[in-house]
Structure 1
Amino acid sequence: MLLLLKDQITIMRKILFLSFIFFYSSVLFAQKNLIPMPQHLEISKQGSFPLKGNLTVGAGAFETQAKYLANQLESLLQTKVTLKKSGPIRFQKINNTAVEKHDYYELKIDPSGVFIAASTESAAFYAVQTLLQLVEENQASGSIPALEIKDYAKFTYRGAHLDVSRHFFTADEVKLFLDYLSRYKMNKFHWHLTDDQGWRIEIKSHPKLTAIGAYRAVTDDVKDSKLTKDGRYGGFYTQEQIKDVVAYANKLQIEIIPEIEMPGHAQAALAAYPELSCTGGPFQVGTTWGVMDDIYCPKEETFALLEDVIDEVVTLFPSHYIHIGGDEAPKTRWKTCAHCQEMIKKEGLKDEFELQSYFIKRMEKYINAKGKDIIGWDEILEGGLAPNATVMSWTGIEGGIHAAKAGHDAIMTPVSHMYLDYYQGNPQSEPLAFNAELRLDKVYSFNPIPKELNEQEAKHILGPQANMWTEYITNFKHVEYMLFPRLLALSEVAWGTSKPEAYKSFENRVIHEFAYLDRKKINYSKAIFELNGNIVSRDGKMYYELSTIKNDNTIRYTTDGTAPTVQSAVYKEPVVVDRTMTINAANFSAARMVGSVLKQDFVISKSTGKSIQLLYEPNEAYQANGTATLVDGVYGNKQYFKKNWLGFNGKDLVATIDMAEPVSFSNVELNVVDQNASWIYYPQAVKVYVSQDNQNFTLVQEVGKEVIAKSKGTIKLSFEKQHAKFVKVEVQHLNKIPAGSGGAGSPAWLFVDELSVY
Structure 2
Amino acid sequence: MAAIPAPSRLTPAEGRFTMTAATPLTADPPLARAAAWLRETLQPATGLPLPEGPGGIEFRLTGGLGPEEYRFTITAESVLVEATAAAGAFYGAQTLRQFLGPAAFRKGRTGTRTWTLPAATIADAPRHGWRGCLIDVARHFLPKNDLLRYIDLLAAHKLNVLHLHLTDDQGWRLEIRKYPRLTEVGSWRRESPLGAARNRRSDGRPHGGHYSQDDIREIVSYAADRFVTIVPEIDLPGHTQAAIAAYPELGNLETPLDVRTEWGVGENVLNVADSTIAFFTDVLEEVLELFPGRYVCVGGDEVPKTQWNESVPAKERIRELGLRDADELQTWLMRHFTDFLLTRGRKPLGWDELMEGGLPPGVTVAAWRGDTCAAMAARAGHDVVVQPFTETYLDFRQAEGEQEPVPIGSVTSLRAVHAFDPFPAGLTGAERDRILGAQAALWTEHIDSPRLLDYMAFPRLAAFAEAVWSGERDFEDFLARLAVHEKRLDALGVEYRPAAGPHPWQRRPDAPGHPRTRAEIDGKLAAWTANLRS
- TM-score (norm. length: structure 2): 0.91
Which of 136, 140, 144 is the equivalent residue of 2:101?
Answer: 136
Matched, 1:372 2:337: no
Matched, 1:506 2:478: yes
Q: How far does residue 304 in structure 1 lie from its aligned partner after superposition?
A: 0.6
After superposition, give the CA deviation of every residue in 1:99-154 in whole Å (9 maximum; x if it has no partner).
3x451111111122110111211111101000110112698664222211011111
Partner of 2:242: 268
User: For 2:491 and 2:173, how far apart are their aligned partners in 1?
Assistant: 32
**1:117-516 residue pairs with structure 2 within 5 A?**
117-136=82-101, 142-221=115-194, 223=196, 228-499=202-473, 502-516=474-488
Q: How many residues in Structure 1 have an aligned counterpart in Structure 2?
A: 507
Partner of 2:75: 110
Partner of 2:10: 41
**Which residue type is aligned with residue 65 of structure 1?**
A
Partner of 2:52: 83
**Which residue type is aligned with residue 315 of structure 1?**
E
User: For 1:644 and 1:155, how far apart are their aligned partners in 2?
Assistant: 28
After superposition, give the CA deviation of every residue in 1:162-219 in whole Å (9 maximum; x if it has no partner).
1111111111110011111000100000000000000000000011111111111222
Partner of 1:580: none
| Structure 1 gaps, min length 5 | 1-30, 531-594, 598-636, 651-758
Task: Confirm or deny: 8 A CA contact 2:102 2:487 kept in the other structure.
Answer: no
After superposition, give the CA deviation of every residue in 1:381-432 in whole Å (9 maximum; x if it has no partner).
1111111000001111222111111111001100110001011123422222
Task: Confirm or deny: 8 A CA contact 2:195 2:512 kept in the other structure.
Answer: no
Classify 1:221/1:529 alpha carbon distance in 2 versus 1 (closer, same or farther; 3 Å): closer
Task: Confirm or deny: 8 A CA contact 2:17 2:77 kept in the other structure.
Answer: yes
Partner SS state of residue 101, structure 2? helix
After superposition, give the CA deviation of every residue in 1:246-290 in whole Å (9 maximum; x if it has no partner).
110011100000000000000000001111112233111000101
Matched, 1:65 2:34: yes
User: For 1:340 and 1:518, how far apart are their aligned partners in 2?
Assistant: 54
Q: How far does residue 508 in structure 1 lie from its aligned partner after superposition?
A: 1.4
Q: How far does residue 226 in structure 1 lie from its aligned partner after superposition?
A: 10
> Which stretch of structure 1 is more off in the superposition, 503-512 or 255-264?
503-512
Partner SS state of residue 349, structure 2? strand
Task: Confirm or deny: 8 A CA contact 2:195 2:406 kept in the other structure.
Answer: no
User: For 1:243 and 1:426, how far apart are their aligned partners in 2?
Assistant: 41
Q: How far does residue 645 in structure 1 lie from its aligned partner after superposition?
A: 12
**Which residue type is aligned with residue 51 of structure 1?**
M
Q: How far does residue 367 in structure 1 lie from its aligned partner after superposition?
A: 1.3
**Which residue type is aligned with residue 529 of structure 1?**
A
Task: Confirm or deny: 8 A CA contact 2:365 2:385 kept in the other structure.
Answer: yes
User: For 2:268 and 2:194, how far apart are their aligned partners in 1?
Assistant: 20
User: For 2:227 and 2:201, how far apart are their aligned partners in 1?
Assistant: 36
Task: Confirm or deny: 8 A CA contact 1:373 1:388 kept in the other structure.
Answer: yes
**Which residue type is aligned with residue 375 of structure 1?**
L
Partner of 1:74: 43
**Which residue type is aligned with residue 128 of structure 1?**
A
Partner SS state of residue 103, structure 1? coil
Higher relative helix content: 2
Partner of 2:532: none
Q: How far does residue 345 in structure 1 lie from its aligned partner after superposition?
A: 1.4
Partner of 1:677: none
- TM-score (norm. length: structure 1): 0.64
Classify 1:112/1:433 alpha carbon distance in 2 versus 1 (closer, same or farther; 3 Å): same
Classify 1:231/1:446 alpha carbon distance in 2 versus 1 (closer, same or farther; 3 Å): closer
Q: How far does residue 230 in structure 1 lie from its aligned partner after superposition?
A: 2.1
Classify 1:354/1:643 alpha carbon distance in 2 versus 1 (closer, same or farther; 3 Å): closer
Task: Confirm or deny: 8 A CA contact 1:221 1:289 kept in the other structure.
Answer: no
Task: Confirm or deny: 8 A CA contact 1:327 1:378 kept in the other structure.
Answer: yes
Between 1 and 2, higher relative CO (CA 8 Å, sep ≥ 6) is seen in 2
**1:571-582 residue pairs with structure 2 within 5 A?**
none
Task: Confirm or deny: 8 A CA contact 2:378 2:434 kept in the other structure.
Answer: yes
Matched, 1:519 2:491: yes
After superposition, give the CA deviation of every residue in 1:300-356 in whole Å (9 maximum; x if it has no partner).
011011000001000000110110010000000011111111111111211111111
User: For 2:44 and 2:340, how far apart are their aligned partners in 1?
Assistant: 47
Partner SS state of residue 145, structure 2? helix
User: For 2:232 and 2:410, how far apart are their aligned partners in 1?
Assistant: 27
Task: Confirm or deny: 8 A CA contact 1:222 1:288 kept in the other structure.
Answer: no
User: For 1:444 and 1:124, how far apart are their aligned partners in 2?
Assistant: 25
User: For 2:409 and 2:368, how far apart are their aligned partners in 1?
Assistant: 17
User: For 2:472 and 2:385, how far apart are their aligned partners in 1?
Assistant: 18
Higher relative strand content: 1
After superposition, give the CA deviation of every residue in 1:8-57 in whole Å (9 maximum; x if it has no partner).
xxxxxxxxxxxxxxxxxxxxxxx2x1000000111123x22112343210
User: For 2:144 and 2:201, how far apart are their aligned partners in 1?
Assistant: 23
Classify 1:455/1:54 alpha carbon distance in 2 versus 1 (closer, same or farther; 3 Å): same
Task: Confirm or deny: 8 A CA contact 1:105 1:116 kept in the other structure.
Answer: yes
Classify 1:222/1:180 alpha carbon distance in 2 versus 1 (closer, same or farther; 3 Å): closer
Partner SS state of residue 489, structure 1? helix
Task: Confirm or deny: 8 A CA contact 1:484 1:524 kept in the other structure.
Answer: yes
**Which residue type is aligned with residue 120 of structure 1?**
A
**Which residue type is aligned with residue 513 of structure 1?**
H
Partner SS state of residue 422, structure 1? coil
User: For 2:167 and 2:273, how far apart are their aligned partners in 1?
Assistant: 20
Partner SS state of residue 516, structure 1? helix
Q: How far does residue 464 in structure 1 lie from its aligned partner after superposition?
A: 1.0
Task: Confirm or deny: 8 A CA contact 2:131 2:161 kept in the other structure.
Answer: yes
Task: Confirm or deny: 8 A CA contact 1:391 1:399 kept in the other structure.
Answer: no
Task: Confirm or deny: 8 A CA contact 2:272 2:333 kept in the other structure.
Answer: yes
RMSD: 2.2
After superposition, give the CA deviation of every residue in 1:702-758 in whole Å (9 maximum; x if it has no partner).
xxxxxxxxxxxxxxxxxxxxxxxxxxxxxxxxxxxxxxxxxxxxxxxxxxxxxxxxx
Task: Confirm or deny: 8 A CA contact 2:396 2:409 kept in the other structure.
Answer: yes
User: For 2:93 and 2:130, how far apart are their aligned partners in 1?
Assistant: 20
After superposition, give the CA deviation of every residue in 1:420-448 in whole Å (9 maximum; x if it has no partner).
10111234222224233211000011110
User: For 2:484 and 2:393, how far apart are their aligned partners in 1?
Assistant: 24
Q: Which has the larger radius of gyration?
A: 1
Which of 85, 89, 93 is the equivalent residue of 2:61?
Answer: 93
User: For 1:221 and 1:134, how far apart are their aligned partners in 2?
Assistant: 42
User: For 1:184 and 1:158, how far apart are their aligned partners in 2?
Assistant: 10
Partner SS state of residue 150, structure 1? strand
Classify 1:73/1:386 alpha carbon distance in 2 versus 1 (closer, same or farther; 3 Å): same
Percent identity over paired residues:
33
